[in-house]
Structure 1
Amino acid sequence: MGTFDVRDMMKADAAASASPAMFGGSDKGQTRRFHPLAERIAAIPVKPTLSPVMIEGAARLLDLIAVLGTGGLIYWLYAAGKVEYTLPYQVTVAALALGSLAVFQALQLYPIGALRHFVGSGVRLVAGWTMLFLVALAAFFFLKIGDQVSRGWLIGFYFAGAGALLAGRVLTTAGVRYLTRTGRLERRTAIVGGGEAGEALIRALESQKDTGLRICGVFDDRNDERSPDLVAGYPKLGTIDDLVEFARRTKLDLVIFTLPISAEARLLTMLRKLWVLPIDIRLSAHLSKLRLRPRSYSYFGAVPVLDVFDRPIADWDIVVKWAFDKVVGTLALIALSPVMLVTAIAIKLDTTGPVFFRQKRYGFNNETVDVLKFRSLRNDMADHNAAKQVTRDDPRVTRVGRFIRKTSIDELPQLLNVVFKGDLSLVGPRPHAIHAKASNRAYEQVVDGYFARHKVKPGITGWAQINGWRGETDTEEKIQRRVEHDLYYIENWSVLLDLYILVKTPFSLLTKNENAY
């Protein structure tokens, strides 16, 4: 998706914005009426956005490579084989590489705004690099080790390093500008709360440069003069209930509340509806009379906000978890392929019908995914909608099916989901069937905030499973405990926790399988 402007869309669709349209879910069989512009925004194809944190990290890595690379190259061209000691050169290159990161960070050379503008950041970059070399020369003088490092090498390193750093910054600037033009650095944002506070916040955000925010509209539960239909040129698109559906369909990145902290009850009511979403939630402190220490705030340019919720597993954590899934998942798929082959043959010999069973389940952000399993039920009794859970001694389960369900071998084909499709993770909340129930009630009706478990990708195994909460959920307590464990995992994720769960899973299958039929 390229950039878009809601106000331009309003001008082009003035007639439609004056009449209601259908949007969102249903309420007692009736589809909720919603602003037509929300439908148009939701229909715009979106490309995955890149986190500014990741772009800044890539810029740091490029600078580090430039310094290390030029230092090593100039040494190889000028001093290799001609000097007695190599240690002073190695220490100097390493120290300048690390020092450059610290100095460039202090000179504010890594924020996205600086990466977009080459001239200003280029001047500061050369100034910082020069200062580093002056510090290095001073250190050589005071430590009386200047004769151990070639001056020719130092001069060559200085100029080559400056050139490499500037060349890297040119490439970074070009890349960031391209990503900006194509909308890959935008943060799709909704403002909660209209009136004067909402207008003041929008004006303040628009006065800042390089925030990357793309305001999609305003949402407010109020329907009186305190919340007009138009706020600073942006339309009020609906209520908080509408925002939940809108956020899922548009893959919203950020919600900013303009409500004062004094409106505690109203704020908490709204947050209870929104915290299930995989988005960042901030509280505007722009007009607040409460003044905290500067470090207590986050900032969009110079506009202060208070962090309320952060999207779990974000920025570089996403990259780490993706790499973990691909590498470990591929190794597991190779190692377990003989077991999968034997299982497929056994299923074919036991009953007629396909080897695999596909079922739609809830994935990340409530999106549906096709989960692949070995078929464990009789083909003529397949339950694609999970209308009836498998119970003890269920006649639908085949002889092979009973064994592979007890040992969770039926789940192994989901490694294909992990490695090739990427819609599952090795570790995460188990994906539930869309129509699954506990005590004849839908899971979301049993557990308050149930959909918060979908803030991350579902997994083949998880924290709930190794703690014994797997298999049939015939009581409300079982699904409640499972969701509690899923939320604990989301809030405490780390690579070490994923490794622990993977190592513990085989043992839990042997010792905690009383609910698996």
Structure 2
Amino acid sequence: MQLDSPNYLSIFHMQTRYLYLLKYILPITDIVMLNLVYVVAYYLTEYLGKSVSYELWRHYMVVCNLTWMFNSAIFGLYSDYGSIRLEKIYRGTWRSVALHAITFALYLLFSRDIEFSRTFLVVFYALLVVAFVLNRFAGSVFQFLLVHKLNVNKKVALIGVNPTGRRLAHYFDSQYDIDFYGYLDDGSMIYGDEKGELPAKFISKMEEAALSGVKDVYVSLEPHRMSEVNLFLEEADKHCLRVKFIPDIAGALSAPYTISYVGGEFPVISLRKEPLESIGNRFKKRAFDILFSLAVIVFLMSWLYPLIAILIKSQSKGPVLFRQLRSGRNDEPFWCYKFRSMKMNNDSDKKQATKDDDRITTIGKFLRKSSLDELPQFFNVLMGDMSVVGPRPHMLRHTEEYKAIISQFMVRHFLKPGITGWAQVNGLRGETKEDSAMQKRVQHDIWYLENWTAMLEVKIIFMTVINMLKGEENAY
């Protein structure tokens, strides 16, 4: 369950057996529909006078099914969570159809043992899109009837008018598959009165809730008071009410936090949301880094590197590449590579480049303005020291200076440094004359850390390319 406030995060589902069955009905109807459309498209193509190989009917129908199952698995179309969220079903469906069209068409194109039929593919996917529209519409109507007309959703009640309880109530109100009965109490009567008994009024409310169909009662209370609710638990058992506790720790923790479990038993509170702590997300990011950096090295740097090297060597003495120790992930130093844009000097590890810096060569100005001086860092990405997108790495000396004066400066080192980043595409690059400029960079870097998605990664890369083409004011 995700509440609107960022201060609490947990995931669970309150499905009835009817809604649970939907996740099995969906893949079955999709496979049946896929095969029916395939057969209709085969005969319709022949009816239109186009030649279609019999192999397309006998053998490649199996390939079509396997391709669909593979693509739907990639987008989690039939996952537990996706099966009860209509917007996720629609999104996953159209992505699966698009990927299926590409992969199945390519498979047929490169299968030389059959005659490739473009007409069949056009007819098949046109019919498939229409069939899915009708199927999803029928599914939406069926689910609406189950929830709103047949009342198959679960009825729940809540105890505890505190910050967590209010957010929980808002969440219940927003879920179509939950029938929120309302509050049974503000949380004061579950501990008993001065006689050690539950108030009769409260017991009456519990009885009314049970008679009206409430099955689960969620109680938001302070963790240290959980041992004081034995009387309430005994009374709830009498009315066949399941009690579920939600610890109210919003007052103790002001920062956004998440609750997870170690070994399925021990609750762990994390004070910062970090999508890249997920091994699946880290794998995606690393796979993208490898493929993207290889593409840049093979298709761009293979011919551009020699040209830039000649220009650098023609203007000043020294190596083509400049390397410098910089702070990496977990504050571990690594050698960062760039095209040398300055004359050889003794201040490279001490002094930032400034506007009209006399150390910068003519070709160096162009390289820095266009960000081409950063290209060798794709080798850093390939070696695993950096990522394509992430916080920009700083000199070791600057890291020591800023971590003493900038709040949360070292948080940005939870990630691998990047060639480009959220701060950079928002104009926060170049010389930092004031501490406030670095503070803004840090804020942007932490926002990226806490809000990472694959699409955000792509967005930053596109913004970087656009900024390179139009030139950046702070690139010097």
TM-score range, shorter chain: 0.3 to 0.5
TM-score, normalised by the number of residues in structure 2? 0.46
Larger Cα-atom Rg: 2
